[in-house]
Amino acid sequence: MRRLSLAVGLLLCLPLLARAQDTRVSEATKELQRVKAEYADVLALDGVSKDEILAIARLLRAKPAMAIDRTRESGEYCLKSGPGTMTHYAADATKTREDIVYEFAAEPLVKAGLDLQRLASLPALGKMEAGQWYYLPEGTVDPHHQHVMPGATLLIAVDVR
């Protein structure tokens, strides 16, 4: 009788165990679909492009503070790679011709003889011409940051599309 009760109990538990297993599989499937959707652009890369993104990811993993979110201010993500150097990446390159903006502290080049007055002044956000060097004077609001820069800055934009 005891064996029969145990067998019946196990048979009654099997559907519950199967349902629990189905729930775990369903949750794992949903998570995999989320990861595939979120990382589709990265997963589509191959060769050097994939290796480059992974190299950047490793740098950011080692020092996450290099990543700066300026999407609210300028629609850009920024990579502050070191003192006086930053790269801005458009969150949506279809909305701007400033897909990538490189920004450098001007001081080292001024010390080497660069005449900042010969450069164009930095225009409003979205008005840069690709390949044109710009100068932002010290104490001026940078449209890419929406705050005053601590020193004179040089910028150049790249239009990828």
Tell whether 99 is covered by a domain: yes
Tell whether 49 is covered by a domain: no
Tell whether 116 is covered by a domain: yes
pLDDT in single tens digits along all 161 residues of the chain: 566 565 556 556 667 666 766 677 678 888 888 887 888 888 889 999 999 999 999 999 999 999 999 999 899 999 999 888 999 999 999 999 999 999 999 999 999 999 998 999 999 999 999 999 999 999 899 998 888 888 899 999 999 97
Tell whether 135 is covered by a domain: yes
Tell whether 118 is covered by a domain: yes
Domain identity same for 88 and 151: yes
Domain identity same for 70 and 24: no
The predicted-structure confidence for 141-158, as pLDDT tens digits, reads as follows 999 888 888 889 999 999
| pLDDT in the model for residue 33 | 86
The predicted-structure confidence for 4-28, as pLDDT tens digits, reads as follows 565 556 556 667 666 766 677 678 8
- Cα separation of 94 and 135, whole Å? 25
Domain identity same for 11 and 83: no
Domain identity same for 24 and 81: no
Residues contacting 137, CB < 8 A, separation 6+: 116, 121, 152
Domain identity same for 69 and 114: yes
Domain identity same for 88 and 125: yes
Q: Count the domains in the chain.
A: 2
Cα distances (angstroms) measured from residue 59 to each of 72, 80, 158: 24, 11, 23
Domain identity same for 34 and 72: no
Domain identity same for 134 and 67: yes
Domain range enclosing 18: 2-38
Cα angle 19-22-23, degrees, rounded to a multiple of 5: 90
Tell whether 112 is covered by a domain: yes
